[in-house]
Amino acid sequence: RIETLVEEGLSDILWSSEDLDEFISVATVVVCGEFAPLVRKLQETMIVISEIVKSWSSHSSLHLFGEELGSSQLEELSGKQKLACQNFETSLTSGRKRIKDMMEALLALVETGQDSPAWITYSNQVDVVVVNGVRKAFLSGISHLLHRVSLFEQGLAIPPLVTVKLELLGNEISFTPPLNQISSELSVSESVKEMMYQYLNVCANACVLKSKEQHGSTSEILLSDSEINSGLSKVIAHLESSSRKCRSLRNKFLPYSFIWEDDVIASFNLFLKGRYSLQNKNLNRPQTVRASARSTQGRSRPATATTALSGTMGTSDWTFIFPESQASESSREHKLPTLDDFDMQIAVFEGFLEKVNSVEELVTVGWIIVDMKPIKHCLQSLVLKWKNKFTSHIIDRVCDVLDTLNTVLLEVEPQVEIVSGLEDDWSLIKNIVSVFNKVNSKGLEVDDKFGAVHRSVQMLQKYKCQIPSEAKNFLSTAPQRWSALKKKMGIAKQRISPKVQANVDLVRQEFETFNEWFEQLRQVFNQSGCLKYGTSEEVAITSLEACKARLLSQQERAKDLEMVQELLEKNLFNFTKLTELANEFEVLENLLHLCRVFKQQHSDWKCHKWCDTDTAVLLSATALQLDQLKNLPDFCSEWDVYTKLIDVIIVLQNTLPVINDFLRSSLRTRHWKQILRLALPRQSGSTGSVTSEKLKMFTLRELMELSFSDHAAEIRSIAERADKDLAVEMAIKTFEEVWLSRVFELKPAQKSGRKLLPPVQGSGKRRSDSVVLSTTSVHLSFEVCLLENIDEVVVIVNEHQTSLQALLGTNSASSFMEDLNKWRKILQTIEAVLKVWKSVQDLWYLLQEVCMSLEMQERLPGAMLTFQMVDKDYCELLQQVEKNANVMFQCCQEDQLTVLNKMHNSLKECQNSLLAHTRTYQDSVPWFLFLPPDDVLSFVCNGTEPAFLSSNIQWIIPSVHMLQYEQVEHDVKIVAVKSRGGDSLSLTEMVSTDSPIETILTLLMQRISQSLRSCYSAEIRSSRLAEGNISITNLKSFLQSAIQGYCPRQIVHLIVGCAMRVIVEQSPTAESVTELTQSLTSFLSSRRFEVGSGVSVGTLSGRDHWICSAVLFSLYYR
């Protein structure tokens, strides 16, 4: 309507229109009366919606987990979370309903459609306000969590959020609720995360946007918010970090896991058997107990006897700790626990109990409080259960010992007190003596156990345990009663002794009867089967037990008789024989046990193949067995079971070296036949078919039945001879491998770049125009090579000949004489061929270039023809070597040595002819006169080679060190010479090397002389030292220019010498000459010239002054 009015006013209405007032009135009504109130309504509605949204974040009841900052159980947190979710959902739902009603009323008021762009824009703005309100409300709900995060990241103390319990469930220490995410239940961090996301979902679900399709769901919008996402992530991360740290609290209890893992009763029974100890668990005593407990560190209990206890009346602990029957059964083990062991075990429990008691009941770790009370109470009860099991056993044993002692005292005291010394009946006297023995036997036991009882009571008091009051009262009076009983028994002995002496005849009859019984028992024992090696184990043990039973049955009688003998004060029987016999029974029992064990071990060893036997292990085991037997008393050597058992072990030991010999890889069939012939003739005819292959399948028992150990020395000799035979075989095999693989190494011959060969007949070509041609067809397709490794092969031949000679001197050589002789012949042939071949190659290489030159072919045609024939044959030989380079193949060919000798003789003839021809050079060329013939031949053959002539020119012209060349067209020419001092002299005219050596040397000497004269003249002219101008000043000027420029020293010497001679001749006196020379010397010295060897110039003669100056300059110039 407004747009229509505006359109009408712009197009139709004029200032002069009659309906202008009406138009203004209508427009005022539409804009001010209808549109303005509507706009105000829209604005008021937006303000109300903003107030509603703002109210969502102002109520404390909407805070997640409540407003309190203290720690709570996970269930309490869940209840607070549910309450906050309900309150938040209620507040959001009511606010959303009010907003919806206002939006519907406003939509009806504006009289437009919901799809109107204007309404959609307005609705989107409302959605933005609502979402921001929900976001602020959610952040307000978790504000206390975000505050915790901020404080925690700043390193400040924060109140924990969750309380968990550390409990012992089954055999595992675990947290309730769990802290580990791998458990089936939700962990603390997972539960808190789920609660926060449920709270977030409540916020999102309570606010449904109209523009959801355009902007996404409310939860997506909230989760995309960086502040919300970061806050949630940090809360979860800090909870998980605290959880990881909490899990380390379990480690302090893990060393004591046996407390809840092991069964108390079963573990205690194992402890009594010596097979359970807490010392292996690296557990320490507590601080409160360590000071008072007896230290046993650094002391180990012997493995063969019980631990001896210190104290006034203490002996062996296990006689006190264990009942009589159990102690006798277990005394063999010698590993039974002592009171010290009980002390250490109880100390461990005390230490753990002290550690458990010191644990705090509530431990704060970051965001989590760990309630330690459940695990603490559980472990306290378990530790007390373990401790009570050990202490109750000691208390029971103390009570049992005291009860037994009380019973003995009650029984014996009346019997000792009634002894009056008037008894005449021998039977009554013997009963009294039995009572004395009973007191004596109990006295040792009481002395043993009294010390252990007192130590046990002290140990119990240390751990705050007490024995029953009755036992405690008896323990306080028992020592006095026992001492009184001993005194009474001493008095009774004095009273009864005369009565015993009065019945000496009856006493003697008793002792004779007892002696007859003992001798009969000794005879039965010595003749019993238990001393025979062949007796079965059951029979031997039965016989021994019968003897022990007979001896045991007379123990009480023996004690009574020993007491009677003491009262009689006569020695009628040596009662130590009983102890010795009992000791023999014990030793024999131990020996039978060892015999059974050893036989079982031998049976196990002998059932395996002897080839698979580890002789080192068996030798060590049998040595240990012998040591165990030899540690037995000496009287065992009289027993058949002892001696035969040692013999069996020795036979087994003697068989082991034989097995080692049999296992040698060097044994061959011939050796096995020799070995079998040693043992098989002693066997039955059925063993005649035994072969080495069958023998290797035998077990150790079957091998020992053949009694090879009786022939150990012969077998060792055969085995050693087999090793030597194997050494010869390996040496022969080495010869074959080396010489079948050894080849000649070829290298190209280093030839000259030019060869002067005979020109074509009738041609008028000069020698320099000759071309490189081959004298034989061999050179056309074959590059001449030399054998490079002849010396190396000769060294190997010499080594093998030495080894072969050593093998021929051994006893085993007879079996391989044919092969050894064959290789001796082969090595001799190779040595001879290589020696001649080396000489032929050296001569051929030396003479090749000389003999192939045109000059030698013209002067010595016969010798050169001979060389060409040898050259052809040698090149063909090298071609064969190239095809098959094997040394043995080439050297052992038929007539190879003859062919090489023939070549050598021919080459020697050529060499002699060349040497004879060389002597003519020495006679005709003066420069060769003082050189050896071989050097002259080298110059004749190689003198045209620039490199050779340059490096050897010093032997012809000593002052020339080397030559300088230039390539001029197809010729190499000498352009300069160089001295040892480095002076270079350019030749006035180059010297060609395409000429005979004598021509080259003649021309070179001429060119050097011409060049020196030319250089001398040029320097004289340039230095103004010509005749008439010679003076010291000009000489100094010349030396200055010579120093600054470049002039050969020889020229300087000549000029200085000549100038000084003229100056000396012009000087009137010797003093003036000395003055001039000193002036020149000072001039030279000013340029750091020094007089060598401290020689004064003034002391020289006048004629030598110029020599001094020349020498001075020569020293400086160098």
Stretch 823-849: mean pLDDT: 87
State whether residue 18 is helix, strand or coil.
coil
Q: Order across the sheet with 962-968: list the strands.
A: 962-968, 971-978, 984-992
Confidence category of residue 773, pLDDT binned at 50, 70, 90: very low
Least confident of 538-542, 613-617, 931-935, 1009-1013: 931-935
Question: In what helix (H) or strand (E) does residue 904 lie, and over which residues does it extend?
Answer: helix 896-924
pLDDT exceeds cutoff 50 at 833: yes
Stretch 411-427: mean pLDDT: 72
pLDDT digits (tens, 9 = 90+) for 183-224: 777 877 788 788 777 777 777 765 554 544 444 567 777 777
Question: In what helix (H) or strand (E) does residue 371 lie, and over which residues does it extend?
Answer: strand 368-371
pLDDT exceeds cutoff 50 at 108: yes
pLDDT exceeds cutoff 80 at 613: yes
pLDDT exceeds cutoff 50 at 292: no
Please classify residue 182 by burial: count the beta carbons closer than 10 Å to its beta carbon, then call 0-12 exposed, 13-18 middle and 19+ buried: exposed
State whether residue 966 is helix, strand or coil.
strand
pLDDT digits (tens, 9 = 90+) for 631-657: 888 888 888 888 988 998 898 888 888
**Spatial CB neighbours of 334, under 8 Å, sequence gap ≥ 6:** 302, 303, 304, 305, 306
Residues in the chain: 1118
Please give the share of the chain, as a percent, with pLDDT higher than 70. 81
pLDDT given at position 53: 81
Which of 59-63, 616-620, 724-728 shows the highest mean pLDDT? 616-620
pLDDT given at position 324: 57
pLDDT given at position 1094: 40
pLDDT exceeds cutoff 70 at 564: yes
Comparison of pLDDT for 1090 and 1033, the residue scoring more = 1033
Please give the share of the chain, as a percent, with pLDDT higher than 90. 1
Stretch 978-985: mean pLDDT: 79
Determine the Cα–Cα distance for residues 510 and 503; give it in Å rounded to an integer.
11
Comparison of pLDDT for 50 and 563, the residue scoring more = 50
Determine the Cα–Cα distance for residues 696 and 683; give it in Å rounded to an integer.
18
**Spatial CB neighbours of 111, under 8 Å, sequence gap ≥ 6:** none
Q: Name the DSSP letter for residue 812.
A: G
pLDDT given at position 206: 55
pLDDT exceeds cutoff 60 at 1096: no
pLDDT given at position 294: 35
Q: How many CB atoms lie within 10 A of CB 835?
A: 16
What separation in angstroms does the CA of 461 have from each of 321, 343, 676?
Answer: 18, 12, 78
**Does residue 177 have a cis bond before it (omega within 30 degrees)?**
yes
Q: Which two tokens stand for residue 228?
A: 């919300």
Please classify residue 12 by burial: count the beta carbons closer than 10 Å to its beta carbon, then call 0-12 exposed, 13-18 middle and 19+ buried: exposed
Mean pLDDT across the chain:
76
Comparison of pLDDT for 47 and 292, the residue scoring more = 47
pLDDT exceeds cutoff 70 at 759: no
Determine the Cα–Cα distance for residues 434 and 436; give it in Å rounded to an integer.
5
Confidence category of residue 295, pLDDT binned at 50, 70, 90: very low
Comparison of pLDDT for 597 and 562, the residue scoring more = 597
Q: Which two tokens stand for residue 83?
A: 């309450």
Confidence category of residue 262, pLDDT binned at 50, 70, 90: confident
b/e burial code for range 979-1000 (CB count within 10 A of at least 16 → b): eeeebebebeebbebbbbbbeb
What separation in angstroms does the CA of 933 have from each of 230, 911, 919, 938?
Answer: 105, 11, 7, 9
pTM: 0.46
Confidence category of residue 1053, pLDDT binned at 50, 70, 90: confident
Note whether 99 and 52 are within 8 A (CB).
Answer: yes
- SS3 percent helix, strand, coil of the chain, rounded to 5, is 70, 5, 25
pLDDT exceeds cutoff 80 at 1117: no
Determine the Cα–Cα distance for residues 56 and 62; give it in Å rounded to an integer.
8
Comparison of pLDDT for 891 and 847, the residue scoring more = 891
pLDDT given at position 291: 36
Nearest Cα to 868, choosing from 852, 846, 889?
852
pLDDT exceeds cutoff 80 at 569: no
Stretch 139-159: mean pLDDT: 77
Q: How many CB atoms lie within 10 A of CB 507?
A: 22
Q: Which two tokens stand for residue 1105?
A: 């002054």
What separation in angstroms does the CA of 480 have from each of 438, 474, 476?
Answer: 19, 10, 8
pLDDT given at position 988: 85
Comparison of pLDDT for 721 and 61, the residue scoring more = 721
pLDDT given at position 855: 63
State whether residue 170 is helix, strand or coil.
coil
Stretch 1094-1118: mean pLDDT: 43
Least confident of 115-124, 380-389, 771-780: 771-780
pLDDT given at position 330: 46
pLDDT exceeds cutoff 50 at 504: yes
